[in-house]
Amino acid sequence: MLKTEYALTNTKGSLWEGPLESHLLFSRVYNDRGADGTTGQTMSMVYGDKALRPGIEDVIAGLEQSTSFRSAIGLLNTSTKENTFTIELYDENGTLLATRDEAVPPMSLHHINKVYTALAGENNVRGYAIVRSTQQGSVYGSLVDQSTGDASTITPVHIDTSDNQAPVFEGNDVFCDGIDDGLVDVNPKDGVIDRGILAYISDNYSGCILASDADGDSLTYSWTDLDRGSLPPGFSYQGRDWTWNLGAPGITPGLYNLQVTVTDNRGGEFTELQRWDIRTPPQ
């Protein structure tokens, strides 16, 4: 497809499609072996609500480096900021062999071939990897037959390590957000909380950001759409309170990454990323 549809040769990377409504996509990467046919692997589409993000660990099991097989890990940054992926590489007995922090630029892909050799200097081992990220992204593993070049895709297993569950809005809901349903202390810096929210076109939503300051400083709130720059139609805020009318003209189904930053004007800062999955109402 890259050659016939996009006139691209001798290239690699990722294909971006969206926003999509009720679509299932997949792709296949293969080697043409002439009369011997093809070898290759299927790569499934990654949806935003299934992406790797802070508070999620991806486990890639079945990795191996030997005379028979080699393994690779792919790291895809789907965010607009640099994403640092932390890879912990284990053998089959659970012994940690290596740790690597891999910085991937926005919207970029890093592919680590022969991952056990590259990270741990090991050439005869099998096991698994645990991957974390500082931004939204996606990972995959592959196992390649050394003699034929035939590859199998290893789909990672998602493990939620956070205490923050993704709320589902049913319409006209009020969602006041803090850490563990409590108050966020803005002084000192508290880092990032990442939440996924499912909502529907034509509904109205409102909420607030629960924040406090140990010194009693006044707090400033600001919102931005990380992907589009300006805030989407129908979204407004004042102080800690926000509203979003999804019936406003110009709203389309898709993923919206809205970030709120709370500051105390003395260096204290708290940032929350709300990942909205906007859909048409079910029939």
Q: Is the pLDDT of residue 130 over 90?
A: yes
Q: Is the pLDDT of residue 2 over 60?
A: no
Q: Is 226 left (phi over 0), alpha (psi -120 to 50) or beta?
A: alpha
Q: Is the pLDDT of residue 34 over 50?
A: yes
Q: Is the pLDDT of residue 198 over 80?
A: no
pLDDT number for residue 28 = 59
Q: Is the pLDDT of residue 184 over 50?
A: no
Q: How confident is the model at residue 96 (pLDDT cuts 50, 70, 90)?
A: very high
Lowest mean pLDDT among 168-172, 248-252, 264-268: 168-172
pLDDT number for residue 240 = 82
Q: Is the pLDDT of residue 100 over 60?
A: yes
Segment 25-46 mean pLDDT: 62
Residue type, 245: N
Q: Which residue has the higher pLDDT, 29 or 240?
A: 240
Give the β-pairing of 174-177 and 204-209: parallel
Question: Which residues have a Cβ under 8 Å from the Cβ of 43 and sit 6 or more positions away?
Answer: 26, 27, 28, 29, 140, 153
Q: What is the distance between the alpha carbons of residues 86 and 161, in angstroms, rounded to a whole number?
A: 15
Q: What is the distance between the alpha carbons of residues 127 and 27, in angstroms, rounded to a whole number?
A: 27
Segment 11-19 mean pLDDT: 53
Q: What is the distance between the alpha carbons of residues 79 and 102, in angstroms, rounded to a whole number?
A: 15
Lowest mean pLDDT among 27-41, 59-73, 106-120: 27-41
Q: In which residue are the tokens 């990467």 written?
A: 29
Closest to 166 (Cα-Cα) out of 174, 182, 177: 177
Q: How confident is the model at residue 149 (pLDDT cuts 50, 70, 90)?
A: confident
Q: Which residue has the higher pLDDT, 268 or 13?
A: 268
Q: Enumerate the β-bridge partners of residue 195.
A: 274
Q: How confident is the model at residue 20 (pLDDT cuts 50, 70, 90)?
A: very low
Lowest mean pLDDT among 18-22, 37-41, 146-150, 154-158: 18-22
pLDDT number for residue 61 = 94
Q: How confident is the model at residue 249 (pLDDT cuts 50, 70, 90)?
A: very high
Q: Is the pLDDT of residue 182 over 50?
A: no
Q: Is the pLDDT of residue 121 over 90?
A: yes
Please name each of the domains of the chain with its CATH number. Answer: 48-160 (2.60.290.11), 174-279 (2.60.40.10)
Closest to 127 (Cα-Cα) out of 101, 93, 100, 159: 93
Q: What is the distance between the alpha carbons of residues 204 and 282, in angstroms, rounded to a whole number?
A: 16
pLDDT number for residue 6 = 56
